[in-house]
Amino acid sequence: MHRLLRSQKQNGDRRAQRAPAKQAITRLMATRPNEVWTWDVTKLPLQTRGVYLSLYVVMDLFSRYIVAWMVSRKENIALAQQLFREACDRYQIQSLTLHQDRGAPMIANAYLDLLSELAITASHSRPQVSNDNPMSESQFKTMKYQPDYPRRFQSTEHARVWCVDYVAWYNFSHHHAGIESFTPSQVCTGQHIEIAQTRQEALDLSYLRHPERFVKGPPSVKMPPATGYINPALDLDGQPNLKATLNFPTLERVKSKLT
């Protein structure tokens, strides 16, 4: 019977279904701190098998600075609302683009209403695309590859104490490869400009003393990228196209802040 149905192309699902829609590629660009934030939630296992904590981490796209984080026993909308309300108050945010994936707290109506109230433009990863939030995922990998990262935490308090030390290290001591070995704190506050001048003076002195060591000529300090991207549009030369990379809302519920 199935062979006969297959030959007549009648063995498939014959219900009315919506045709698959193509999702626009999320393209974000940040030219200064606190212009675009990205966040995600990861699980921290406890020693009790099958029990996990939720770690919320919010990062600045331009400087990679961790602006807010939270450890909780559950993942829900109310905690996400609390986290972003406090973060916006702390940094006095007037307008912002916030990027996230499509987890349950990220697409909940109450959460999106709060973003509208705070004048935050919501940007979301494409459905079933795992690499549309690369900065947050990369930060989680850095965290879980730390030499002192516990395989399992003893308690919620243990996880919070460990995360306090990790965030302090990441923001103030981690020489990030993506921002040319400056720390996120230095780039976020603009201190990297003064530090780069000091580095350049040391390189110039070394070149004057031993020019034979520098086969490619006088060395220069590499500065962090002037623009941070998520999925940049590229031109024919493979370089980011600034005009084609714009921050835009990905859900229709985004509204302007009422005054």
- Domains of the chain, residue spans: 28-180
The predicted pLDDT at position 2 comes to: 86
Low-confidence winner among 21-25, 61-65, 197-201 (lowest mean pLDDT): 21-25
Q: Which of these, 72, 61, 71, 70, lies nearest to 100 by C-alpha position?
A: 61
Contact 137/114 with Cβ under 8 angstroms? Answer: no
Q: Which residues pair with 38 in a beta bridge?
A: 59, 99
Residues 11-47: tens digit of each pLDDT: 877 777 777 777 778 889 999 999 999 999 999 999 9
Pairing verdict, β 36-45 and 96-100: parallel
Between CA 190 and CA 194, with CA 192 as vertex, the angle to 5 degrees is: 95
DSSP 63: T
CATH topology of domain 28-180: Nucleotidyltransferase; domain 5 (3.30.420)
pTM: 0.83
Measured between alpha carbons, how far is 123 from 85 in angstroms, rounded to an integer?
Answer: 17
Low-confidence winner among 73-87, 179-193, 242-256 (lowest mean pLDDT): 242-256
If phi over 0 gives left and psi between -120 and 50 gives alpha, with beta otherwise, what is residue 132?
alpha
Q: What phi and psi values does residue 41 have, to the nearest 5 degrees?
A: -125, 135
Token pair for 16: 């009315």
Q: Across residues 96-124, what is the average pLDDT?
A: 91
Residues 155-174: tens digit of each pLDDT: 999 999 999 999 999 999 99
Split at pLDDT 50, 70, 90, the class of 249 is very low
The predicted pLDDT at position 244 comes to: 52
Contact 61/38 with Cβ under 8 angstroms? Answer: yes
Contact 239/113 with Cβ under 8 angstroms? Answer: no
Token pair for 62: 């331009």
The predicted pLDDT at position 75 comes to: 87
Pairing verdict, β 96-100 and 120-124: parallel
Split at pLDDT 50, 70, 90, the class of 231 is confident
Spatial strand order in the sheet of 120-124:
66-72, 52-60, 36-45, 96-100, 120-124
E strand or H helix at 175: none
58 vs 127, which has greater pLDDT?
A: 58
